[in-house]
Structure formats: C-alpha cells, structure tokens
C-alpha cells in the first residue's frame, strides 16, 4: 500500500482530499492537523506523497516543506502544496522550497487525482 500524508488544519479539507483520491489503487491515508504532527507522521511512517497546506497553527507549511527537503531520507518524497494563497510570491516561495506541485483551494478533485497519480507513477 502506498501511504499519502494529508497535512491540513481543516478536517473538512482533509476529508475532501482523501475522498478525491479514494479511487486510486493501492493507497491509504494518514492525516495531520498541523505541521508538527505532519513531521511526526512523516518520520514514523515515511509516506510516498504529502499533500500540504501552508497556513496552519504551530508550524507553517513552508517550514514543513523546508524540513522535508533538507533531510536526505525525505528529500525525494513528492509534496503537493494545496493552499488558499493565490499570489505569485507564495507560489514562488513554495517552488523555491521544493514543492512538486502547487494547487489552490477550492481544488478540482480530478486535477488533484491526476497530479497525485503522476507523481506516484514517477517514483
């Protein structure tokens, strides 16, 4: 089973992401409600992909992304940033920190599914 870690402070968004990806073969989901919890689950379970919000309590998503890219054991894990931020500066910051894909909320479930499938297949 391929594990996908969903890190978002909104339980509704976490459920929507999981529901959007439910039709993919051989995937299971783990959920974190903030960045610190996300890092703990990342370290414990080594997911194949992370869907990451930016604006969260305790630890900003860019800090989580920076942590992932700075550690050799996680560096190759694809990260989809899924955020309400539409501005070019935030998009550039996410790219500079190593985001694999940048998507905005509200999101198109089929676009998310396509991005996840593509990233998992390239691994």
pLDDT in tens, 76-90: 999 999 999 999 999
- Write out pLDDT tens, residues 64-74: 999 999 999 99
Domains belonging to the chain, first-starting first, are: 2-121 (3.40.50.2300)
pLDDT score of 38:
97
Rounded alpha-carbon distances, angstroms, from residue 105 to 28, 46, 52, 120: 22, 26, 12, 22
Helix locations, the chain, DSSP H: 11-21, 35-45, 61-70, 88-96, 109-121
pLDDT of the chain along its 123 residues, tens only?
A: 999 999 999 999 999 999 999 999 899 999 999 999 999 999 999 999 999 999 998 899 999 999 999 999 999 999 999 999 999 999 999 999 999 999 999 999 999 999 999 999 986
Write the burial class of residue 105 (CB in 10 Å: 0-12 exposed, 13-18 middle, 19+ buried).
Answer: middle
pTM, two decimals, is: 0.96
């Amino acid at each position: 089973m391929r594990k996908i870690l969903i890190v978002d402070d909104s339980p509704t968004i976490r459920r929507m992401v999981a529901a959007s990806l439910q039709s993919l073969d051989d995937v299971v989901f783990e959920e974190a409600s903030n960045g610190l919890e996300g890092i703990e689950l990342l370290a414990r379970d080594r997911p194949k992909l992370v869907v990451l919000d930016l604006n969260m309590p305790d630890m900003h998503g860019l800090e989580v992304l920076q942590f992932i890219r700075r550690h050799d054991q996680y560096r190759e894990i694809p990260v989809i940033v899924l955020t309400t931020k539409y501005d070019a500066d935030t998009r550039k910051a996410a790219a500079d920190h190593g985001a694999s894909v940048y998507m905005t909320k509200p999101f198109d479930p089929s676009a998310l599914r396509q991005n996840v499938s593509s990233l998992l297949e390239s691994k």
